[in-house]
Structure 1
Amino acid sequence: MLHLPPFFTTRRAFVALSAALLLTGKEAAAQAGKAARPRPFTIVAFGDSLTAGLGVKRSEAFPARLEARLKAAGYDLRIANAGLSGDTTAGALARFDFAVPRGTDAVLLAIGANDMLQGRSPEDAKKNIDAMITRAKARGLKVALLGMRAPSNWGADYRARFDGIYPSLARKHAIPLDPFVLEGVALNPALNQADGIHPNPLGADRIAARLVPFVAKSFGLKPKRP
């Protein structure tokens, strides 16, 4: 003969089972909601101290300011700062694969200033930057290049060879180029730190403001609908 449990026990089990099912349903709905929400477009800003923000807070460096300005303009994105102070193109190439992780959609490449400051071979710098662009494109990543310019004290020949790196690679790989990342900021005491090289917070924000339309167009970003 089948013996049924007392009423209160049966009712207690029913309530517990209902609560468990309700909780499971909420968890499933939450997971479904997460899956339904597209992740933000992820850009890695890859470079040296100009990207890292030497001498300013990380939140004041141009990648953070650029992210803030793009978000304010309605773009759903994230910009990771992979700048390393003192990095040369050779060092950048050596760390490129692990510094640009899986889940990245695009790379904003700003490297070469330290090669120039140290008088290194423009041809070697070009090969290193070329290799980074090639690796990024092989992974299906979008790439935009931020150029650098050599000062006149290195001589006309060196300056021409160095300055030619960026437009040459942009043409070769058919990628967008901003010719000079420090345009409007270089040599302006009000926008640079005491060393005259690295932007202060105002200078970094000036770079970010100028790059907003360049980055949006380069990576085909579309603002979110209200």
Structure 2
Amino acid sequence: MFAFTAKKINNAFALGLIAFGLSTSVSSFAATTGQECKILVMGDSLSAAYGLPKEQGWVALMEVRLAEKFPHCKVVNASVSGETTAGGKTRLPALLKQHQPTHMILELGANDGLRGLSLDTMKDNLTNMLVTARRNGAQAVLIGMQIPSNYGPAYARRFGDTFPEVARKQKVPLVPFMLEGFALDPTAFQADGIHPNAGAQPKILENIWPTFSATLK
């Protein structure tokens, strides 16, 4: 979980997440190739359904949609509250070996920013994870992030710019803003003012789905 209170982080705080504007696909990867697809979600508390029953989180909601539209796709949610890019980089090789995913959703970096960690290191970690996933045969989608300007305008700007830069260089789809459409709505968040509540989880899925589902062709 994030180690910051709502008093320290305003509700305009925007965590952004993974997207080139790709269209929604309704044709199943499994149906067209006859192969199973397995999706590894590497995230932090935003993808681990922090503060909610897991079945209410956006990843669980995605599983329900996949069962309807891409029935041969399975999900492994390896998200951990409080995870940084360094932690994800350390855990990823074993997860790839164990689960052998065909796809990966990478939603990490928010905790790096909230802790004021090195942005150069964060960029290197994200790049490493995308390269490692590719070498292991997984198509990755990157979720970009933003932090509020009270962390310093220069730092916040550099932080937000890191994700599209990495996505562009690694040629992976980017969802620029996970919380599009409700980031400034305090009623969409839990009491901490940081984590989206149950009502916001379907909105998160709608923000991610068009970009991600296009990779399942």
2:188 corresponds to 1:191? yes
The corresponding residue for 1:69 is 65
Shift of the 45–185 alpha-carbon distance from structure 1 to 2, 3 Å rule, reads farther
CA distance in 1, matches of 2:161, 2:121: 13
The aligned amino acid for 1:84 is: V
Q: 1:40 aligns with which of 36, 40, 58?
A: 36
Instruction: Give the CA deviation at 1:80.
Output: 1.6
TM-score (norm 1): 0.76
* Structure 2: runs of 5 or more not aligned: 1-33
Aligned pairs, number: 183
**Which of 1 and 2 has greater Rg?**
1
Q: Any gaps of 5 or more consecutive residues in structure 1?
A: 1-37, 222-226
In 2, are the aligned partners of 1:116 and 1:162 still within 8 Å (CA)?
A: yes
Contact residue 143 and residue 175 of structure 2 kept, 8 A: yes
The equivalent of 1:202 in structure 2 is 199
Query: What percent identity do the matched residue pairs reach?
Result: 37
Shift, 1:103, TM fit: 2.9
Q: Deviations over 1:150-209 (max 9, x none)?
A: 111112210121111111111111110001222223232222111111111111121012
Provide the residue aligned with 1:3 in structure 2.
none
> What's the C-alpha RMSD, in Å, of the aligned pairs?
1.7
2:90 is the counterpart of 1:90: no
**Residue 106 of structure 2 aligns to which amino acid in structure 1?**
L
Superposed, which structure 2 residues align to 1:146-225 within 5 Å? 146-217=143-214, 219-221=215-217
- The residue aligned with 1:133 is 130
Q: Which has the higher helix share?
A: 1
What TM-score results when the alignment is normalised by the length of structure 2? 0.79
Residue 81 (str. 1) matches residue 38 (str. 2): no
3-state SS in 2 of match to 1:108: strand
Higher RCO by CA contacts (8 Å cutoff, separation 6 or greater) = 2
1:55 equivalent in alignment to 2:31: no
| Conserved 8 A contact 2:144-2:163 | yes
Distance in 1 (alpha carbons) for counterparts of 2:114 and 2:95 = 23
Q: Compare 126-135 and 101-110 and name the one that shifted more.
A: 101-110
C-alpha deviation, 1:39, in angstroms: 5.4
Q: Once the 2 structures are TM-superposed, how far is the Cα of residue 99 of structure 1 from its aligned partner?
A: 2.9
Give the SS at the match of 2:99: coil
The CA distance in 1 between the partners of 2:74 and 2:216, in whole Å, is 15
User: Does the CA-based 8 Å contact 1:185-1:192 persist in structure 2?
Assistant: no
